[in-house]
Amino acid sequence: MNKSRVIIGLSGGVDSSVAAYLLKEQGYEVIGLFMKNWHDDSVTISDECPWLEDSNDAMLVANKLGIPFQTVDLSVQYKERIVDYMFKEYENGRTPNPDVLCNREIKFDVFMDIALELGADYVATGHYCRKATFEKEGKQIHQLLAGVDTNKDQSYFLCQLSQAQLAKALFPIGELTKPEVREIAKAQDLITAEKKDSQGLCFIGKVRLPEFLQQQLKPKEGVIVEIPETLNTYHKSIPRFDSKTNELAFHADKTEYSISDGKVVGKHQGAHYFTKGQRKGLAVGGTKEPLFVIETDVNENVIYTGQGKNHPGLLRSVLFVKNEELHWVREDLALKDDETMQVKARIRYRQPLENATLYKVDSGLYVEFQNKQSAITEGQFVAWYLDDELIGSGVIS
């Protein structure tokens, strides 16, 4: 009997361990591969989740399951495609999402190429999401569906995958909840059964982000400015628009601030270390409500803040994605200019899905939310869904 060969990314965590076990149970020929993406231990918080311990756990799981195992070093590609990109984005005052990029660029590209060279029919991961396939006009269409465990659904992290990548992907634990996954690991006596979920950068473990960034981005002192809610800009009357596009452009426009709009309340060590919506690390006290970052200006090196999570500077209902940063998982559903679509969308992982409308214009795509969203952040990904299917995404510009 011809068994399909599956290469699974074993991370040394419980999710990929159970995914490997399930594949084996389903009769696949399974090979485990651990990705080493990082060499510089000086910025990882070593006792939290060093790659060595993880690769060791992955190897023990592979031994227990009786599957071949090896480590692949992808640190060169990881540095080029993820780390350098992150530095550049932070330097430009944008906030990248390394996990989304890691899936698109590393796990389902570099890693997938290695797997296919090793004769794999499929690549599997321990993501909480599902895949379905149907035929449309004689062509196979692959769907990326949310995981059954709504609390753990990780479809958002895979929002940049293509049909070609999905065709070769398997997500064995997508139908399970996290407690069920842990139960299976316990029953199979896998060393990872009780292991804590890793936080931090994908496959690097916990990294001290400020120190990590400081290696490249030099600290430079600047001021923290508090903007009052009474700022005129927030209360200007909304003009009458001659087209929906003009209205969307007006609401998508972010507020430009200058130091004279507020008062200086503190100092910081570099605007590029901060991100919109951030509350911690400002070290400014004495305000009635906590201060939140509402905008960073990396050119002038100023951080603008506002009091409370409902500060008008944090809230916006429309965002824009440029054509070159627009991605359709379901290419067959891609909008043409002037077309619209009702969807559910999110602008960050684990955010509940919100009602939104997509508007395609010649330069890109507007996403208009029914409710105002907090801290819409340039460089992050917006993903949109029909029911529980993720159909597209883009980088917020």
Helix %, strand %, coil % for the chain, to 5?
30, 30, 40
Q: Which residues are annotated as a binding site for ATP?
A: 9-16, 35, 126
Q: The tokens of 97 are what?
A: 């999402």
Two structure tokens written together for 138: 């004689």
Rounded Cα distance between 276 and 71, Å, is 37
- Count H helices and E strands in the chain, helices first: 10, 18
Tokens standing for 246?
């003009």
d(CA 20, CA 161): 21
Cα angle vertex 121, ends 126, 157, to 5°? 30
Binding site per annotation, positions: 9-16, 35, 126
> What SS3 class is residue 293?
strand
202 is catalytic: yes
Catalytic: 49? Answer: no
Q: Which pair of structure tokens corresponds to residue 295?
A: 């905008």
d(C-alpha 180, C-alpha 114), whole Å: 31
Residue 348 near residue 380, CB atoms below 8 Å: yes
- Annotated catalytic residue, options 49, 129, 159, 202: 202
Residue 297, token pair as written in the block: 């200006």
Distance of CA 183 to the CA centre of its chain: 28
Residues recognised as catalytic: 102, 202
